[in-house]
Amino acid sequence: MTIPNHYQADYTVRSYEVDTDGRVRPLTLLNYLQDAAGEHASRLGASVPALLKMNLTWVLSRYHVHFHRFVPVHSTIHLKTWPSAKEGRFALRDFELVDGDGNPVVTATSSWMLIDLTSRRPVRIADHLPDLPTVERRMVHDSFSSLPIPDRFDCELPFRVRHSDLDINRHVNNTVYVDWALEALPPSDIGRYRPRTIEVSYRAEANYGDRILSKTQFSSEPEPISLHQLRRESDDREVARLRIFWSRI
């Protein structure tokens, strides 16, 4: 049987997946991306459970997500995803989400590493998954250069890693980092903006019990933009860096 190089799925926005305005949350859309990526990887024979038997696992390195619209509750979203490139130790995966009328909801690209669980180091994907297909179509063209570090901080919030934050790899799930960043906006700006673009650089694992400090720099001119840094308090290790472009509501 031939496994399709694309994976497609429909998602219906549930009442517990919307914000106070009844619109789908950014984190909900990121969860859809993660779910579809996992489902497609499973069909390609490269799921996390399958890789764990080889002492390997996938780790998300970068995200670049454009939000075109936040649809209301009960909307149906059609998602399509595919592996878009293999670049040395990185596998790229792109996404396209549209609403029931075909209007764009999200376009995104992501970069993943295959990690040896003993050494905790990345390995060459072609050496372990030589038959992993690619479709040369990019929804977002990004070379994934380094994201800027904030030169000041307008808001800081601490978070303790809970059991519910952990994924199958027993470290913090990738969407939780974004949640920590969004929660650390200055209080005066929460509710005035919605994210237009989110870029994430995942830099280290966070584990159960870790205390994470989420620091934010927010500027409203010439356009609303925030820079975020997440650091583990015990060793001051940077675990993630984000840049978010915002639209005024």
At 121-163, the pLDDT tens digits run: 999 998 998 888 899 899 998 889 999 998 899 999 999 999 9
The residues, ordered by sequence, that sit 6+ positions from 101 with a Cβ below 8 Å of its Cβ are none
Lowest-pLDDT choice from 104-108, 124-128, 219-223, 231-235: 219-223
Considering only the top CATH level, what class is 155-248? Answer: alpha beta
Residue 166 is classified by DSSP as B
Q: For 86-90, 111-115, 165-169, which range has the lowest pLDDT when averaged over its residues?
A: 86-90
How much is the mean pLDDT over the chain? 93
Contacts of 168 (CB under 8 A, 6+ apart): 48, 49
Single-letter code of the amino acid located at 21: D
Q: Half-sphere exposure of 203 toward its Cβ, with a 13 Å CA cutoff?
A: 18
Q: Averaged over 49-67, what is the pLDDT?
A: 95
Q: Residues spanned by CATH 3.10.129.10 within the chain?
A: 7-128, 155-248
Would you call 151 helix, strand, or coil by DSSP? Answer: coil
Dist CA 111 CA 217 (whole Å)? 25
The Cα 117–Cα 164 span in angstroms is 22
Are 194 and 70 in contact by the 8 Å Cβ rule? The answer is yes
Residue 1 clears pLDDT 50, i.e. is over it: no
SS3 85: strand
Q: Where are the alpha helices (DSSP H) in 152-191?
A: 174-183
C-beta separation of 33 from 106 below 8 A = yes
pLDDT in tens, 152-206: 999 999 999 999 999 988 999 999 999 999 999 877 777 789 999 999 999 999 9
At residue 221 the predicted structure's pLDDT band, cuts being 50, 70 and 90, is confident
pLDDT above 90: percentage of residues in the chain = 80
Domain 7-128 bears CATH identifier 3.90.1150.10: no
Q: Are strands 211-219 and 225-232 parallel, antiparallel or unpaired?
A: antiparallel
Single-letter code of the amino acid located at 47: S
Query: Residue holding tokens 């376009």?
Result: 107
Determine the Cα–Cα distance for residues 231 and 187; give it in Å rounded to an integer: 21
Question: How long, in residues, is the chain?
Answer: 249
